[in-house]
A and B are shown apart, each in its own frame.
Chain A
Amino acid sequence: MRIHVVLDLYIFKVKTFFGALRASKASIALLLLYTLSFLLGLFSFSTPISDAIRKGVTDIDSYTELLSSVASLLMVFAVSLALRGYTVFEYEQNLIFTSPIKPREFLIADIFSNLTSLLIFANPIVIFYVMIVHSLKLSTLSALLMLSSSILFIFTLLLLKTSLSMIKSLYGGNQVNTLILAIIVILVLPAAGFIADLPLEYNSLPYPSTFLARILVKSVYSVDRLTLDFAGLSFYFLLSVLLFLSISTKNFFPTTTCIPFVSPFDTSMRMQTLQMERNIKMFSRIGMLPTLNLGSKSLLTFLMKKEVIRVIREGSLFTIIFFYLIASFIVVATSISSSQTTQSLPYTYLVTFFVGVYSLTIPLMLVSNWRFSDIGSLWIPLTSGMDLRIMVNALLYSFISISSVVPAAVISILSLIYSINPIIPLTLAVSTSMIGCPVNLYIMVGFLGMKSSGTPSILIGLASMLLSVLLLTPTYILIFLGLHLSFGDVTSWLLTVTILAYSTLIMKLFSREIKRSISRIEL
């Protein structure tokens, strides 16, 4: 192994990945924003934690339990990445895989560059660690112990993920899939114990995540009696090193899966499009199954059908359904776990809140997918001389129907489970999509019409979210009133009608504006 080659390769990879960061101020601002908001969240956690620790908690076990389930979720995530096989970027394949660089040299550079990007994205956690060490006045030994065990754990994860993805790439097949899935199941099992009352607990099992959690929690109090845990963690680390050493000399280059290179900081259209493609590709195969009959009498319905087909084919619809499934799962899980504790929220609140948050993201998803997949053919309607109002309406109506139908289905199911009245959550979902879709489209079209159309999509999304929430304030107030002043049936319906009328008004207003600014886009 040649150290200087590994170093060169590492620097090259990091430079390529973070290159865009050097060039664009917007990206740096975004990263700062990210760090700040992340830190804010951690702060709100840290106060109760350090308070509790100062007061002297007796319940060390449950802290360990919590931490080790988080750590093993991280492991599950890392291991499940291996199911894709070893993925590399185009440039790595063409350039590096035909050069004298050896597999192991490449792998080590890859692991360290993964670690680097991990550290940059997790920088708030590093800051948090420093804050905790400082505010609790931990001894140097404890601080070092926490740090070194975290580093050991992270390396174990990276080595495991690397080796497993290589095994998957090299040998493929169902046996490897079964192996990876088995590891995942073993890691998840104790977590399932929370819900199903299994006698399994992370605390009592020799998982790497348990060792890490024990060290982290216990070293806050004293560094005694940690030798065993540290030895356990080191054992797993050595195991992963051995696995890595035994597999890393194999020529796995021709078996890798190639993915287009995308830096998260890139502001160029092409890069964002590629990223988008990657996200929705997973679902696009299912999308070829349904076909709609395109023929219809009016241009409006024709265009609407076309949009619906696009949304199905490119996979956005499945992404939406997928998101909702996860979200409803979380709702159900929270309600189960909170019913065990003292106060439980009324389900109507829970469902309404969940609908409010999630239905806000769907218009954003639909509109940005439209941008990425249709901007290239926007010249067709724009140069065709057709009435642009029809086109805008077709877009809006299809977006609104899609973004109302999916939540509506979920709400119906949830309201059956909890036997609650679905009217209020339904009204919220429909109003959110009637206001959210036009607002998102308006802002997107506005940005596209600007001279510098290379705005990062996150910024556009942020702006759309803010404006949507602002315009939805009346809806939120009315919904809030409706929830609190348990109205009779007639007043409830009146409320719904008022909200829908208001939403229609906003929609009409924005659709006129969109029509005006869509003709300003330079293609």
Chain B
Amino acid sequence: MKAVEVVNLVKVYGGGIPAIDNLTFAVEPGEIYGLIGPNGAGKTTTLRIVATLIKPTSGSVRVLGFDVVDQAEYIRRMISYLPEEAGVYGNLTGYEYLRFIADIYAKSGDESESMIEEALEISGLGSRIKDRVKSYSRGMRRRLQVARTLMVKPKLAILDEPTSGLDVYHAHYIRRCIRRYVDEYGLTVLISSHNMLEIEYLCDRILLIHRGRSIDDGPPRILKEKYSSNNMEEVFLKAVGLT
């Protein structure tokens, strides 16, 4: 069984041109799968469909064997989604926020405690966790969000630009956390990013999207050979046809 299986996916927002145009790909369990492509390519749209937040116009999307339209309820028990722009929870403290999520996902009080402990470590917020989220910097908020996404140890983590807005040190640290979770707990990760270094470091395979269509896919190493490039940035530019 595939972790994610997308077949002939089409998404049209309110009668306009398709944001996703006949997209097909599959993610194996335990894999880190990256979506890359220019702004407006359709990455966020794809991730939101997989996360059961919006419905496909046509085509089928199955997550861990379940259909996103008819069996959303089962999928939601196994995923965790990090949105591109996480909304405002300004008036809760970081701790209250984590507590709430842990209580929803955990099956026992002990599990909830250990989730929060892990999240404290991932976020690296230290004593600031007792402050209201409003007073956090952009990067601190992002770290809190990444921490809450990973701490519940979902079967599938859907991460939309997880390290955007983070400094080099923290971005590096978060990437190591993601890697560690995949290795230790066998998560599957579907990630989108504009950071080609990140993509190369993290992803087992990637999918290049442009204007809602797939242009190419494969492991970064193979793609670099195919486009005779030294790094993913060159691959991206050549594949999208910008050079």
Binding site for B on A (CB under 8 A): 4-5, 8-9, 11-12, 15-16, 18-20, 22-23, 89-91, 93-95, 97-102, 251, 253-255, 260-261, 263, 266, 268, 271
Inter-chain contacts of B77 with A (CB < 8 A):
100
Q: Which of B79-87, B207-215, B224-232 contacts A (4 or more CB under 8 A)?
A: B79-87
In the bound complex, CA of A261 to CA of B73 (Å): 25
Apart from A90-B88, A98-B53, A254-B72, 9 more pairs, CB < 8 Å? A5-B103, A89-B87, A91-B87, A98-B80, A99-B105, A101-B76, A251-B72, A263-B91, A271-B88
**Nearest CB in chain B: distance from A21 CB, A:** 9
CB within 8 Å of A: which residues of B?
51-55, 72-73, 76-77, 79-81, 83, 86-92, 96, 100-101, 103-105, 132, 134, 158
Q: Please give me the residue from chain A that is nearest to B78 by CB atom.
A: A100
Cα distance, A271 to B83, chains bound together (Å) = 20
Residues on A with beta carbons closer than 8 Å to the beta carbon of B158: 98
Chain B residue numbers with a CB within 8 Å of A11 are 100
Closest to A22 in B: B91
Note all chain A residues with C-beta closer than 8 A to B103.
Answer: 4-5, 8
**7 residue pairs, one from A and one from B, having the closest CB atoms:** A19-B91, A90-B87, A91-B87, A98-B81, A94-B83, A100-B77, A12-B100
Complex Cα spacing A101 to B77, Å? 8
Instruction: Please state if A101 and B104 are interface contacts (CB–CB under 8 Å).
Output: yes
Which of B52, B90, B100, B134 contacts A98, CB < 8 Å? B52
Contacts of B51 in A (CB 8 A): 98
Known: A99-B104, A100-B105. A16 touches B89 (CB 8 A): yes
Q: Are B101 and A95 in contact (CB under 8 A)?
A: yes
- Would you call B87 and A97 a contact (CB within 8 A)? no
Given contacts A23-B132, A251-B72, A263-B91, A94 and B53 within 8 Å (CB-CB): yes
In the complex, are the beta carbons of B76 and A98 less than 8 A apart? yes
B52, B81, B88, B90 pick with most chain A CB within 10 angstroms: B88
Most chain B beta carbons < 10 A, residue from A9, A90, A95, A251: A95
A97 near B53 with CB under 8 A, answer yes
Q: Do B86 and A91 have beta carbons less than 8 Å apart?
A: yes
Nearest neighbor of A92 in chain B, beta-carbon distance: B87
Whether the pair B53, A254 counts as a contact (CB closer than 8 A) is: yes
Nearest Cβ distance between residue A16 and chain B, in whole angstroms? 6
Contacts of A101 in B (CB 8 A): 76, 104
Q: Is the beta-carbon distance between A253 and B52 smaller than 8 angstroms? A: yes
Which residue of chain B is the closest to A24 with respect to CB atoms?
Answer: B91
Q: Inside 8 A of B88's CB, which chain A residues have their CB? A: 90-91, 261, 271
Q: A residues within 8 A CB of B83?
A: 94
Complex contacts, A95 vs chain B, CB 8 Å = 81, 86-87, 101
User: Which residues of chain B are within 8 angstroms of A8 by Cβ–Cβ distance?
Assistant: 100, 103-104
Expressed in whole angstroms, the Cα–Cα distance for A498 and B60 within the complex equals 75
CB distance from A226 to the nearest CB of B (A): 44
Expressed in whole angstroms, the Cα–Cα distance for A271 and B87 within the complex equals 12
Report Cα–Cα, A91/B87, bound state, in Å. 5
Establish whether residues B90 and A19, one from each chain, have CB atoms under 8 Å apart when the complex forms: yes
A4 to B54, CA, bound (A): 28
What are 7 A-B pairs with beta-carbon distances under 8 A? A16-B91, A91-B86, A91-B87, A99-B80, A100-B105, A253-B72, A254-B72
Given A4-B103, A8-B104: A98 in contact with B92 (beta carbons within 8 A): no
Closest residue to A97 on the B side, CB-wise? B53
Q: Given the complex, which residues of B lie within 8 Å of A5, measured CB to CB?
A: 103-104
A8 to B99, CA, bound (A): 10
Please state if B81 and A94 are interface contacts (CB–CB under 8 Å).
Answer: yes
Q: Is A98 touching B79 in the complex (CB atoms < 8 A)? A: yes
Q: With a CB–CB cut-off of 8 A, which chain A residues contact B92?
A: 12, 15-16, 19
Assembly CA distance A266 to B89 (angstroms): 12
Closest chain B CB from A121 CB (angstroms): 18
Q: Which residues of A contact B87 (CB under 8 A)?
A: 89-91, 93-95, 260-261
Q: How far is the CB of A11 from chain B (nearest CB, A)?
A: 8
CA distance A268 to B54 in the complex (A): 31
Assembled-state Cα–Cα distance A313/B158 (Å): 38
Q: How far is the CB of B86 from chain A (nearest CB, A)?
A: 6
Contact across chains for B53 and A100 when beta carbons are under 8 A apart:
no
Complex: how many Å from CA A15 to CA B93? 10
- In the assembled complex, the CB of A17 is this many whole angstroms from the nearest CB of chain B, namely 8
- Give Cα distance in the complex from A11 to B92, angstroms: 11
Question: Inside 8 A of A260's CB, which chain B residues have their CB?
Answer: 87
- Structural contact, A102 and B73, CB atoms closer than 8 A: yes
**Residue of A whose beta carbon sits closest to that of B85:** A90
Least CB separation from B84: chain A residue: A94
- The smallest beta-carbon distance between A276 and chain B, in angstroms, is 16
Centre residue among B54, B55, B80, B87 by max chain A CB count within 10 A? B87
Q: Smallest CB–CB gap between B107 and chain A, Å?
A: 11
| Cα–Cα, bound, A101→B91 (Å) | 22
Query: Complex formed: what's the CA distance from A146 to B198 in Å?
Result: 64
What CA separation (Å) do A316 and B49 show in the bound complex?
A: 36
Q: Which residues of B contact A90 (CB under 8 A)?
A: 87-88
B53 contacts which chain A residues (CB < 8 A)?
93-94, 97-98, 253-254
Query: Once bound together, how far apart are the Cα atoms of A9 and B158, in whole Å?
Result: 22
With the chains together, A271 CA to B103 CA distance in Å? 28
In the bound complex, how far is the Cα of B81 from the Cα of A8, in angstroms? 20
A261 to B158, CA, bound (A): 23
**Minimal Cβ-Cβ distance residue in A for B71:** A251
Given contacts A23-B132, A254-B55, contact A9 B72 (CB under 8 A): no
Q: Is the CB of B91 within 8 A of A23?
A: yes
CA distance A12 to B79 in the complex (A): 21
B122, chain A: closest CB distance, angstroms? 17
- The CB with the most chain B CB atoms within 10 A, among A12, A94, A98, is that of A98
A12-B100, A99-B104 known; A94+B55 contact, CB < 8 A:
no
- A89-B87, A90-B87, A261-B88 are contacts. A100–B76 as well, Cβ < 8 Å? yes
B104 engages A100 (CB within 8 Å): yes
Closest Cβ of chain B to A171, distance in Å, is 14
Q: CB distance A97 to B100 under 8 Å?
A: no
Distance of A5 Cα from B53 Cα, bound (Å): 20
| Shortest distance between the CB of B48 and any CB in chain A (Å) | 9
Q: Which residue from B54, B55, B91 sits with its C-beta under 8 Å from A15?
A: B91
B96 touches A15 (CB 8 A): yes
Instruction: Report chain B residues within 8 Å CB of A93.
Output: 53, 87
> Closest A-chain residue to B51, C-beta based?
A98
Question: By the criterion CB–CB under 8 Å, are B100 and A20 in contact?
Answer: no
List residues of chain A with CB within 8 A of the CB of B91.
Answer: 15-16, 18-20, 22-23, 263
Bound complex: CA of A8 vs CA of B97, how far in Å?
Answer: 11
